[in-house]
Amino acid sequence: MFMPDNRNSGAKLVVEFKSIQGHKYTKEGSNKPPLINLANAQGGSYIFEFDSYSDLHVCRDFVSKVLEKSKETPNAALEKSAVKLPDEQLSEEEMQLRIKLLQENSELQKLHRQFVGGNILTEAEFWAARKKLLDRDPSKKSKQRVGFKSAMISDIRPATDGRIFAEKPAVHRAFLNFVPNKMTEMEFWTKYCRAEYLSRTKNYHAVVAEAAEDEELAVFLKEDDILANEVRKKIRRVDPTLDMEADEGDDYTHLPDHGIFRDGTKESNELQSEHYRRTLLQDLNRHAAVVLEGRTIDVEREDSTRALAEALARSKRGNEGADNNANEERLDRTPRVAEIEDLQAPHCLPLAPLSIKDAREYFDSQQANTLKASRDSQASMKCSLSRQEAYGSVRDAISEIKDMGLSDPIVNPEVALKVYSGLTHNISSIKYHLGKNPRETVLDRLPSATKEKLLYVNRLKDALSNIYPQLEEMKESLPADLRHQVSLLVRPMQQALDAAIQHYDADLQKRSAKSGEKPNGYV
Amino acid sequence: MASAPSKLYSDDVSLVVVLLDTNPFFWSSSSLSFSQFLTHVLAFLNAILTLNQLNQVVVIATGYNSCDYVYDSSSTGNQSVGNGRMPSLCATLLQNLEEFMNKDEQLGKQEPEGRIACSLLSGSLSMALCYIQRVFRSGLLHPQPRILCLQGSPDGPEQYVAIMNAIFSAQRSMVPIDSCYLGAQNSAFLQQASYITGGVHHKPQQLDGLFQYLLTIFGTDLHSRNFLQLPKPVGVDFRASCFCHKNTIDMGYICSVCLSIYCKHLKKCSTCGSVFGQAQTQSDEPSATNRKRKTTDA
């Protein structure tokens, strides 16, 4: 619905936006009065005149938006009507925003239709829940800035988006310097094109000749020194903690072909002319870098190249400042990160002190306990003599031996015999119960169980070994023609038996070998 | 010169470290007099040295207040003392022993007060193990060491932990501990020591035939023990002693942090200080059983 603010006429014109197909408006620059021409579906048109162009713009924007929406599906119309509920004072903008949101988000549209259309929720409630969406001003949406086209500058026409300046900073600088002081823009670009043409011909000597003549031309042909500086700066900015060896050799833009000539010869040219070598590789790399950075300058399209150049320069300077800060930051960070551990003072980590109780304390207390406890312990050897007496008796014994020498015989022979026979009896009696080795395995500890097991194993072994000849017999008993087939069946059985018996024998051997002598004193 | 010893180096070269119990309180109340005992032992030591030219003998006296090396057959500073009635081994040993006893008496200040006087077995075990470690590090050619413990004094319960530590370290370095117990009761420590380390434990029935016992059982070197039958104990008393009272116990409580053994439930471990939770029941059932008594026969 469109209501013109016409103070003069009393009538209000109500035009359905649905019926409007298109709109035209007069340009601001022209001398015509500000008019909007709304073309009707039926072929007629409404012409509205405005007081000023600003009004025209506002109206124009509004109309264009509405017209966009009106080209949508009929659902949009439904939404429009649904949105305009009388019990809510909505601003036009908000209404537009809502409509736009609904159009963009189909899910939201569905929900809206479901709830509000089905009278479950009122309009206000629905949008209250989605306040977040409404708060965002669509016009402030971050536009994705369109970057450079990735095609290389093959045509030498200076494009309006300042790509040449981005890729070739020397040209940019030259532009800033020369225009409009020394030459006009046209002249500048002419010289630039000539330089490009010359370099493409690969007529090296012609390039040198012309460069010597025309100073400005030489600027275009020379090595882009700004670029070189930049690259060098970039190399220096590489984080040393990255542990990459970035050195002068990586400055590939400076030396063509990394300083290595393909045909192996070292061309000894004049210093001056070396500057004019510009390889395709350098151009490609530079181009790629710029495209990836992708920053365009947001400048109005109608401005001249000059303003563009200035804007670019400004932005670069701004970046430089930021870069310097980043660089400083990085320099600060480097010593922190690349600490040499050996040279650092030892970290005083918060340690919980180890609290080991004094062992002596434990033993002393235990001794006190024992004293207390043993005082009323069972009656065993209580020393009847005093200390001195005890020691004295021992000393006497020692001196006795010293005087007398060892007794002869040391042991009474009868006693010795008794001892000996007793020992042998003891040893022989326990021989059959316990193993030979003092270090017995657990298996031998339970002789009865072990014996059973062993017997069982033996029985099994016997049974298995019995099967073997049985199989053989079976084979023999069959007639010759069947024998082969039977032997095929029988053979795996025999092999299994062999393997089992071998394994058992090996195991037995291993076990007996293990219980053999251990090297004494082996640490 | 280097070849000569290696030619003589046979499998049965042994180093015997004898731990001699010199507790005067025991010897004064023992049926076997100390002089008789010494006679048997000295003869035995001589016999060992004659078995092989390269055999070595070290004697450590286990005293009441201290322990000390009394004799080392490999040391060259053996002076012959006085009369020629006995070999220098005996003379030196006796001399040193007398000096040791004097020192030991000086160290002790208090009366035993009727308690069971026990000698410092843990100390002498440790000294023996240290000596043996030094022998191990002396080179590739060294005699096979073993420890012979001649003990008569009863077990000192306060030495339980130290003795067990020594036993385990001997087990690790594969040094057998033979033990001959001359006292009245059984010694659980010695039984365990011999069992764990693979040595021989014997309690002689007749003490006046001690020399015979020594020579028959404890004189065998380790190599020969592979094919010689030696008497084995019927059972080993593995009972541990509780840390609080030093009583030997069958069942008890164990701290889960430091494995200390207690005979009754405690709120806090006295060794490591860790706090225990509440017992499940208030009955006499221990929360961790420490059943260790074992028998080895069928």
pLDDT per position as a tens digit, B151-170 = 998 888 788 889 999 999 99
Other beta carbons less than 10 A from residue A305's beta carbon: 18
Selected residue with higher pLDDT from A334 and A439:
A334
Highest mean pLDDT of the ranges A329-333, A407-411, B266-270 = B266-270
Best to test chain A binding among B25, B45, B86, B241 (most A CBs inside 10 Å)? B25
| A419–B213 CB contact, under 8 Å | yes
**In which band, very low, low, confident or very high, does the pLDDT at B291 lie, cut at 50, 70 and 90?**
very low
The better pLDDT of the pair B67, A10 is held by B67
Is the pLDDT confidence value at A282 over 90?
Answer: no
Under an 8 A CB cutoff, do A519 and B232 touch? no
Assign domain B14-108+116-238 one CATH number from 3.40.50.410, 3.40.50.300, 2.60.40.10, 1.10.1040.10.
3.40.50.410
Contacts of A425 (CB under 8 A, 6+ apart): none
Q: Is A412 in Cβ contact with B174 (below 8 Å)?
A: no
Q: In this predicted structure, what is the pLDDT of residue A337?
A: 60
The mean pLDDT value for A183-192 works out to 73
pLDDT reported for residue A65: 74
Q: Nearest CA to B69 among B146, B27, B25, B128? A: B128
Residue closest to A219 by CA, chosen among A273, A278, A277, A170: A170
What is the average per-residue pLDDT within A394-423? 83
- Please report the pLDDT score of residue B218 as a whole number: 92
- Let me know how many helices (H) and strands (E) chain A has, helices first: 21, 3
Q: What is the pLDDT of residue A184?
A: 72
Q: For residue B172, what pLDDT is reported?
A: 94
pLDDT at B72 over 80: yes
Name the helix (H) or strand (E) containing A40: strand A35-40
Quote the percentage of chain A above a pLDDT of 70.
33
Q: List chain B domain ranges.
A: 14-108+116-238, 239-278
- With CB atoms and an 8 Å threshold, state whether B104 touches A391: yes
Nearest-by-Cβ selection for A385 from B28, B272, B296? B28
Looking at residue A274, what is its pLDDT? 43
Find the mean pLDDT for residues A277-301. Answer: 63
**Percent of chain B whose pLDDT exceeds 70:** 84
Which one is predicted more confidently, A487 or B187? B187
CA distance A109 to A76: 9
pLDDT of residue A78: 45
How far apart CA A129 and CA A119 sit, in angstroms, is 16
DSSP one-letter string for A299-314: --TTS-HHHHHHHHHH
Q: For residue B20, is pLDDT > 90?
A: yes
- The yes-or-no verdict on residue B285 having pLDDT over 50 is no
Nearest CA in chain B to A413: B209
For the segment B124-131, the average pLDDT, to the nearest whole number, is 95
* Interfacial B residues in 116-145 facing A (CB < 8 Å): 116-117, 132, 136, 142, 144-145
Of A258, A253, A290, the C-alpha closest to A275 is A253
A139: confidence class by pLDDT, cuts 50, 70, 90:
very low
In angstroms, the CA A140 to CA A132 distance is 14
Alpha carbons A402 and A396: distance in angstroms, whole number: 10
Percent of chain A past pLDDT 90, that is, above it, reads 0
Confidence of residue A186 (pLDDT cuts 50, 70, 90): confident
Q: Which phi and psi (to 5°) does residue B150 adopt?
A: -105, 100
End-to-end CA distance of chain A: 103
pLDDT at A234 over 80: no
B43 contacts in A (CB within 8 Å)?
A: 406, 410
Instruction: Please indicate if any CB of chain A lies within 8 Å of the CB of B228.
Output: no
Contacts of B177 (CB under 8 A, 6+ apart): B125, B146, B147, B149, B167, B170, B193, B194, B197, B199
Residue with the larger pLDDT of the pair A156 and A453 = A453
A-facing residues of B in 46-85 (CB < 8 A) are 82, 85
Nearest CA in chain B to A408: B39
Spatial distance between the Cα atoms of B250 and A109, rounded to a whole number of angstroms: 83
* pLDDT attached to residue A515: 54
Q: Which is higher by pLDDT, B149 or A155? A: B149
- Would you state the structure tokens that stand for residue A4, as one six-digit string? 């013109």
Higher local confidence (pLDDT), A123 or B34: B34
* Number of Cβ within a 10 Å radius of residue A218: 19
User: What does the pLDDT average to over B231-246?
Assistant: 76
Please answer yes or no on whether A381 and B29 come within 8 Å at the CB atom. Answer: yes
What number of residues does chain A have? 523
Compare A322 and A85 and report the one with higher pLDDT. Answer: A322
Taking CB atoms and an 8 Å limit, are A357 and B35 in contact across chains?
Answer: no
Is the interface score ipTM higher than 0.90? Answer: no
pLDDT at B41: 92
The yes-or-no verdict on residue B290 having pLDDT over 80 is no
